[in-house]
Amino acid sequence: MSILTVGVGQAYTSLGAAVAASSSFDTINVLAGDYHDDFTTITHALTINGIGGLAHFIADSAPPNGKAIMTVGADLTIDHLEFSGAAVSSGNGAGIRYQGGQLTINNSWFHNNQEGLLAGAVAGGTISIDHSEFDHNGTGDGLTHNLYVSNIATLTVTNSYFHDVSAGHEIKSRAQATILTGNRIQDGPNLSASYSVDLPDGGAATITGNVIEKGVLAQNTTFIHIGGEANPSYPNTALTLSGNTVINDLASGTPLLVRNATVVGGSPVTVGITGNTLYGLQPAELTNGPVLADNNSFLALPGPALDTSHPWDGSAPATVPEPFSAAILLPALAIAAVLRRRHARRLVSGRRVASATLPGAPRMHAAW
């Protein structure tokens, strides 16, 4: 197993070149900075880390494979990577297109793509996401989402932040099992999201300890939708919501926490809803189907202030293996000190424009 390094003064100036030179189970460290049109396809097991902050992969042009900035077909762990700008003629340009393996995403950011992460159906496949952020993804057609996962074995999302999807769903999962724990799933005040969570084929779903907010411009009064597209739903279908804080900031219509469209054995499954704190909802607005409800609190608006901070670990991996010298690091840090002040993004025609940086020049996101 080898360690390859990408960035200013390194053997590789692009991730694509490092991936091509790598072997199974290698680690690729990418110095924080902007990498334009650096498209990759992962066909063997790798670990890819951003060093000193987020390594930002920006699609200025359409990915040549018509899919994504990074296409994944093997076991992959990423940490402190950022993806933006993916757009293709089909409307499904993704930060990452998942096609196989066990995908682990830590401390990463997906924004302003047609799809944040788009996962195909993979028998036995797993995706785990922790301390990551998905926002401003979607084309506005209602068919593209911050996160869209097809039929895999398990989707696990923890300690992450989903917000400001453009007309689609914050999270859409067709996984056999979906586990959402400790996340912030918040539409926010600016864009018209649909469902907070969509589970159209059912599956075993556990939604625990999250903050889920329906925004003032939301297109749909339902927070969580389960079933409805697969008939019957997956035979293991079950849904448990516990310990969540739910906030209904949508003034129009009648809210519904869970729209239950499941069919298993000819009947809808019973949903468990326990120990949640709900602002702007009433007991009759928990679900339209059978329910076991207990110890839920129903409170008047306004709800608590929304936490809109970035979820990733601001310290970031800081160790850069040899060959890396102070003669290279110090000038790069000097560049970063200037560029940090210019790093604030602005939306132009619905897409963020990032300040220009040299490839691999560190961007210290912890200073935001």
Per DSSP, the chain holds a count of helices (H) and strands (E) of 2, 32
Q: Tell me: the pLDDT tens digits for 215-253?
A: 999 999 999 999 999 989 999 999 999 999 999 999 999
Q: What is the pLDDT of residue 336?
A: 41
- Where is pLDDT greater, at 364 or 52? 52
Beta carbons within 8 Å of 227's beta carbon, 6+ residues apart: 199, 200, 201, 202, 233, 237, 260, 261, 262, 263, 268
Average pLDDT over residues 330-351: 39
In this model, does residue 357 exceed pLDDT 70? no
Q: What is the pLDDT of residue 317?
A: 61
pTM: 0.87
- DSSP letters for 336-355: HHHHHTT---EEETTEEEPP
Q: Tell me: the pLDDT tens digits for 13-37?
A: 999 999 999 999 999 999 999 999 9
Q: Tell me: the pLDDT tens digits for 31-73?
A: 999 999 999 999 999 999 999 999 999 999 999 999 999 999 9
Beta bridge partners of 4: 28
319 pLDDT band, cuts 50/70/90, is low
Q: How far is Cα 189 from Cα 289, in angstroms, rounded to an integer? A: 30
| C-alpha separations of 226 from 135, 149, 244, 287 in Å | 22, 14, 17, 11
Nearest to 201 by CA among 227, 220, 168: 227
Q: How far is Cα 282 from Cα 61, in angstroms, rounded to an integer? A: 48
Would you state the structure tokens that stand for residue 82, as one six-digit string? Answer: 């950022």
